[in-house]
Structures are given as structure tokens and as C-alpha cells.
């Protein structure tokens, strides 16, 4: 998949950093999500005002390295209607190296996103520490379908990196999410796991009283 298609270019005026609130909610598997995301973003990202915060104007920059900082939080993911990530608290540092013929973008994304444990269904904070690089070349010639290099034409003045950030985060999510990923203080709800196991083995039996809403939901599903 060509990332270049996902990334949005624009000639509108630049905007600066974003500041925001804390994190918190579920998440799980990546493949379908990424596929859907690319469709969604190709259509929409350039028109979303809040995602314009994630545009880097490059025409006025001198050759050399420049740093840009972004906050990736709940508001960021709220712009993606079908995002499995709802809550996050991440810092994204982008080092932009402007050269004569290209721009090299080095991403460092660090922080946490709220994920749902695959074992006990509890929510926990999944730490992420992402390093990625994207190259954008100045050229008016079209690039190949599979080429992961972004093409910057004469009329492009800035790069919107929201799509890249979104993609990097989704790719970085663990294939299996478990509470233990959240650190030493993060543990599965053993009681819940026991109940889930009981549910799996004898789903038709009546269960005793329980006040955990997650359990009530599961009982209904099972019936």
C-alpha cells in the first residue's frame, strides 16, 4: 500500500501546535482497521479542520533540519470515525530534513493509548514508542502505485502528516493486547477470566449474581 496516497498535501496556510487533554478507551485488531482507515482518510483528511493542525508547511523552510512537535490525543482520534483507538496521550516529534530534491521526515511517537485486554476485557494503557521515517521527493512526475515515497508537486506547500501518524500508531499496536503490556501495575482481572472460562465451558447454565456490567453484557450475548 502506498502511504503517499494516504498522506494529504495542501496549499493552505500553516497552523501550529496543538495542546490537549488526557487519554482513555478500547482498541484491538489492526488489519481491517488499516484498510478502512486508508479509504476513509483519502477521502476526508484534507477537509478536517482539526487535522490541519498536523500540517507542516515546508516551502518557507531553509535547507536543513527542523523540528515540529504535535500532541496526539482523544481529539485526534475523534476525527477518524471508525477508529478503534478512542483515547490516547502521545507526543509526536517530527524532525524534517529539507534537502534540494527531497524532504526526509523522521517520526518519534511516544506515549499511551487505551486498549482493551483480549483476555479479561478490561481497559488498560498500552505504551507505544514508535520510530518511523517517510521520504517525500520534489517531483511533478507521478510515482508508482507501490512506491512508498511521497511525491511533492510544484503546488504543494505543506504536508499533512495526520494520516501517517494514524497509520504508525495502528501498526504499532500489539497483535494481542493484554493488561500486562500496561506495565508492572497492570494486571488482568482474574475473576473475570474465570467467569469467561465458565461461560465458554457451560454457556447455558445460570450464573450467580454479579455486579460487573461487562459480565451482564456477556450473559446477554451468550443467550
Residues that bind Zn ion (CB under 5 A): 117, 119-120, 122, 179, 188
Q: Cβ of residue 121: shortest distance to Zn ion, in angstroms?
A: 7
Closer by beta carbon to Zn ion, 175 or else 223:
175
Q: Cβ of residue 26: shortest distance to Zn ion, in angstroms?
A: 12
Q: Cβ of residue 174: shortest distance to Zn ion, in angstroms?
A: 13
Closer by beta carbon to Zn ion, 29 or else 119:
119
Q: Cβ of residue 193: shortest distance to Zn ion, in angstroms?
A: 7
CA torsion 17-50-143-35 (nearest 10°) is: 120
75 CB-contact burial (10 Å; exposed 0-12 / middle 13-18 / buried 19+): middle
Closer by beta carbon to Zn ion, 142 or else 175:
175
Q: Cβ of residue 212: shortest distance to Zn ion, in angstroms?
A: 13
Closer by beta carbon to Zn ion, 117 or else 128:
117
**What is 35-100 written as a DSSP string?**
HHHHHHHHHHGGG-TGGGGGEEE-TTPPSEEEEEEEEEEHHHHHTSTT-S---EEEEEEEEEEE-S
Cβ contact 172:130 at 8 Å: yes
Using Cβ positions, the residue closest to Zn ion within the complex turns out to be 117
Q: Cβ of residue 156: shortest distance to Zn ion, in angstroms?
A: 45
- DSSP annotation of 115 reads E
Instruction: Tell me how far apart the terminal alpha carbons of the chain are, to the nearest angstrom.
Output: 41
- DSSP annotation of 30 reads -
Q: In what order do the strands lie in the sheet with 55-57?
A: 8-10, 158-160, 55-57
Closer by beta carbon to Zn ion, 135 or else 188:
188
Closer by beta carbon to Zn ion, 94 or else 117:
117
Q: Give CA–CA dist 110/99, Å, rounded.
A: 26
Could you give the C-alpha distances from 110 to 7, 90, 92, 131, in angstroms and in order? Answer: 21, 5, 7, 9
Cell of 182: 500496561
Q: Cβ of residue 177: shortest distance to Zn ion, in angstroms?
A: 8
Closer by beta carbon to Zn ion, 94 or else 121:
121
Amino acid at each position: 500500500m502506498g502511504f503517499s496516497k494516504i498522506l494529504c498535501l495542501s496549499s493552505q496556510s500553516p497552523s501550529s501546535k496543538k495542546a490537549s487533554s488526557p487519554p482513555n478507551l478500547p482498541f484491538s485488531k489492526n488489519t481491517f482497521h488499516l484498510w478502512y482507515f486508508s479509504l476513509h482518510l483519502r477521502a476526508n483528511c484534507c477537509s478536517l479542520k482539526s487535522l490541519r493542525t498536523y500540517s507542516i508547511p515546508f516551502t518557507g523552510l531553509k535547507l536543513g533540519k527542523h523540528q515540529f512537535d504535535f500532541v496526539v490525543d482523544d481529539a485526534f482520534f475523534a476525527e477518524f470515525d471508525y477508529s478503534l483507538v478512542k483515547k490516547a496521550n502521545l507526543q509526536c516529534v517530527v524532525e524534517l530534513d529539507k534537502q534540494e530534491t527531497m524532504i526526509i521526515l523522521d517520526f518519534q511517537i511516544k506515549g499511551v493509548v487505551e486498549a482493551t485486554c483480549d483476555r479479561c476485557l478490561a481497559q488498560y494503557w498500552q505504551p507505544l514508542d514508535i520510530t518511523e521515517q517517510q521520504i517525500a521527493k520534489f517531483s511533478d512526475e507521478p510515482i508508482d502505485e507501490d512506491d512508498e515515497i511521497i511525491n511533492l508537486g510544484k503546488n504543494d506547500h505543506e504536508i499533512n502528516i495526520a494520516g501517517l501518524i494514524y497509520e504508525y500508531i495502528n501498526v504499532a499496536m500489539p497483535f494481542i493486547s493484554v493488561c500486562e503490556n500496561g506495565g508492572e501495575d497492570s494486571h488482568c482481572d482474574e475473576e473475570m477470566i474465570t467467569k469467561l472460562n465458565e461461560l465458554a465451558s457451560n454457556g447455558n447454565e445460570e450464573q450467580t449474581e454479579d455486579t460487573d456490567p461487562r459480565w451482564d453484557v456477556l450473559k446477554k450475548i451468550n443467550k
